[in-house]
Structure 1
Amino acid sequence: MTNLNFKQLDKLFRNNDFPNIENDIRGIRFLKLRSMSRKETMEEFCTLHAVNIVGIKLKDYFEAVFENMKVTDDQINDYINSKYRQERVERIRNQDYLVDQLNRLQLFDWGGSFGNSLEKNIINNYVKKIQSFDKINEEIEGSLLSSMRGYTLNSWYNHWTSIIIEDLFKDHDSVLPTVGLVKKIDFFVNDIPFDLKVTYFPEQLLADKLRDCGYGNELTMLKKTCRILNIFIPNDLNPRDLKLHLLNKMLEDQRPVAKQFVKELRDEKRKIIADAENSPVELKKWFYENQGEARFDASNRFFLVLTDETDMASSWKLKRNIVFLQEKIHEHLDNLAMDIDSLDTEFYWAQGQKTYNCKSDILFLKYGE
């Protein structure tokens, strides 16, 4: 363990070097205070604990409190918990209304090719391609409006469900929240900082595993079975949408061949996910190694993997199933023996050609088992 001063720890933080911060005697203290480093928060804390900051510049409050050895870790923890409880009261009061609103979303569709950049796609796919004034107005009222609506609704849904799920973690006794926003940290579990990632079992990894176990390509198998059953296969859909379309047809078909196909595919997927749950190291590495360059980081992560085993395409709905989520999350945290070594994760990021070390935990929430 190192024993760095404030400026050394601050430099590590700005360089996103969290492993070396955590390896410092006062590293976790630094991160907790970093989350409460706003002016109002620092002044309130100092007043509460009679910490003299008279004559100290605002930008130096954080360092002054950090280096003040009369400020104990228990005082920091108690203050953070009290601030969270104050904020939580209002969100609890509003939670039933919010969950009801979230349940009104019936279709989770990003609306085409927008991805993560609305402006880029509007410029590339509409502004630079269409010369006709009438045509671009038709697109604005038609496909563009539909795409923007889907993108906005999905973003809205993900934002508010993320807040609810974070609160379910922070409500647990073993979890310490952050007071304000601090990059790459949503909460601490037994003094280990984590960035929460609510996600699903990766489609690409599932496809690779289906191929490796001898099942083959899911879309190819769907087409083959549809031909056997004389089910029409359209040619105007992209592969992902076509797969969902044909699978829905198969789910509704009551003939024995269709039922058998659906059962075998579901059983294969369940086995793959169960194997990953029993031995999660590969999946955790996969999540880290398949990050996009723009959002890459090697922070500690808590992966919450949601799966509706009766219909994987509906797994997004689990984000608003508060009773189910709370039960499973708290059960995991109740039983969590924080064995540091078991959390150690090493991965190689090919784009940066570098090996990283961090800590990660993973919880599989499977509905319809």
Structure 2
Amino acid sequence: MNIPDLESELKKRLDFPYTWGRKQSDDWDFKTKFIYKTKDFETLENQCKDFDNELRNYAFNRWLNFWSAKAIEHIFTSNPVVKKEDNPFSKTVDFYISNIPFDHKSSVFPKQFGKSFDYAIEHKKELIEWLYKNQSQQGRKHLENRLFIIFFDEKNGDHWKLKAELILIKEKVEEYLRNFSRDSLVSLNLEHHEILSDVIWIKV
């Protein structure tokens, strides 16, 4: 995967509004499943040319989120201290760091958290616990180890646009891995599950 080239493609999507129009649904997921095999934005636009605005925005959003997440997983697994999970269909493990299994989850800073970004940095465990309790109820919901990539655009509030900043994300992930320590992970006990977790902050 060529990170600079993919970043260039993802940034072409930023000129369009990030609105869902409706909650994620199996029907619309099926209609937009081509996003998994489409890397360039021009092809994506052509595949959506007969869609109404709501379905087009839905496809654009899924495409951005999917390829940003794939790039982040590639960034992790390209690092020598990380081992990729052998099972590509695993819903709870993407990779291992120092033999510790992790799923990774990208998320904009949640305004529903009700507290400031600076507060979240100082109270990381509180934010992580909130994220586990309020994460999606879809198939990816679980109580296993997870690394959260949290995006925060202090100046403009367009947190979602940072998902396209793959080179910046790569720098932050590599910095995190250079300093990785099991002792610095956040330990939680939720519903009798022992969980190890952490946050990588992507802030501009």
TM-score, normalized by length of structure 2?
0.79
Unaligned runs of 5+ in 2: 29-49
1:157 pairs with 2:61: no
Paired residues of 2:125 and 2:186 also in contact (CA < 8 A): no
Q: Which whole-Å deviations, capped at 9, do the CAs of 1:8-54 have from their partners, x for residues lacking one?
A: xxxxxxxxxxxxxxxxxxxxxxxxxxxxxxxxxxxxxxxxxxxxxxx
1:355 deviates by 4.5
Structure 1: 4+ residue segments shifted above 4 A: none
Mapping 1:185-224, distance limit 5 Å: 185-205=93-113, 208-209=114-115
- 1:297 and 2:133 are equivalent in the alignment: no
Cα distance in 2, alignment partners of residues 316 and 193 from structure 1: 27
Assess if the C-alpha contact under 8 Å between 1:185 and 1:195 holds in 2.
yes
Count matched residues.
181
1:109 aligns with 2:18: yes
What residue identity is the alignment partner of 1:284? I
After TM superposition, give the deviation of residue 192 of structure 1 in Å.
0.4
Q: Could you tell me how far 1:328 is from its partner in structure 2?
A: 1.2
Q: Distance in 1 between matches of 2:81 and 2:57?
A: 37
Higher strand share: 2
Shift in alpha-carbon separation, 1:331–1:202, aligned structure 2, 3 A: same
Q: How much has 1:167 moved relative to structure 2?
A: 1.2
1:100 is aligned to 2:8: yes
Within a 5 Å distance, the mapping from 1:262-341 to structure 2 comes to 272-295=116-139, 296-312=141-157, 314-339=158-183
Deviation at 1:198, TM superposition (A): 0.6
Secondary structure of the structure 1 residue equivalent to 2:148: strand
CA distance in 2, matches of 1:305, 1:100: 21
Quick one: distance in 2 between partners of 1:355 and 1:326?
34
Instruction: Give 1:109 shift.
Output: 2.2
Equivalent position of 1:75 in the other structure: none
Counterparts of 1:108 and 1:195 in 2: how far apart (Å)?
Answer: 29
Instruction: Give the unaligned 5+ runs of structure 1.
Output: 1-90, 121-141, 210-271, 348-353
Cα pair distance change 1:327/1:291, threshold 3 Å: closer
CA separation of 1:287 and 1:151: change in aligned 2, threshold 3 A: same
Residues 337-357 of structure 1 show CA distances to partners (whole Å, capped at 9, x for unaligned) of: 2217x432123xxxxxx4433
**Match of 1:346?**
189
**When you count helix as a share of all residues, which structure comes out higher?**
1
Question: Is the contact made by 1:285 and 1:346 (CA closer than 8 Å) also made in structure 2?
Answer: no
Give the deviation of 1:155 after TM superposition: 0.5
Q: Which structure's relative contact order is higher, taking Cα pairs within 8 Å and 6+ residues apart?
A: 2
1:145 paired to 2:52: yes
Q: Distance in 1 between matches of 2:183 and 2:111?
A: 30
Does the 8 Å contact 1:108/1:316 carry over to 2?
Answer: no
Deviations 1:239-285 (A, max 9, x none): xxxxxxxxxxxxxxxxxxxxxxxxxxxxxxxxx21221122010000
Residue pair 1:111, 1:149 contacting (<8 A) in 2 also: no
Aligned partners of 2:64 and 2:137: how far apart in 1? 25
CA displacement 1:168-212 (0-9 Å, x = unmatched): 11122221112341221111011000000011211211xx33xxx
User: In 2, distance between residues paired with 1:332 and 1:292?
Assistant: 25
Opposite residue 366 of structure 1, the aligned amino acid is K
How many Å separate the matches in 2 of 1:299 and 1:108?
Answer: 33
**Percentage identity across aligned positions?**
28
Q: Quote how far apart the aligned CAs of 1:118 are.
A: 5.8
8 A contact 1:111–1:146 mirrored in 2: no
Q: Taking structure 1 as the reference length, what is the TM-score of the superposition?
A: 0.46
Q: Distance in 2 between matches of 1:278 and 1:168?
A: 27
SS in 2 for 1:185: coil
The answer to whether structure 1 residue 357 and structure 2 residue 190 are counterparts is: no
Any conservation in 1 of the 2:109–2:159 contact (CA below 8 Å)?
A: no
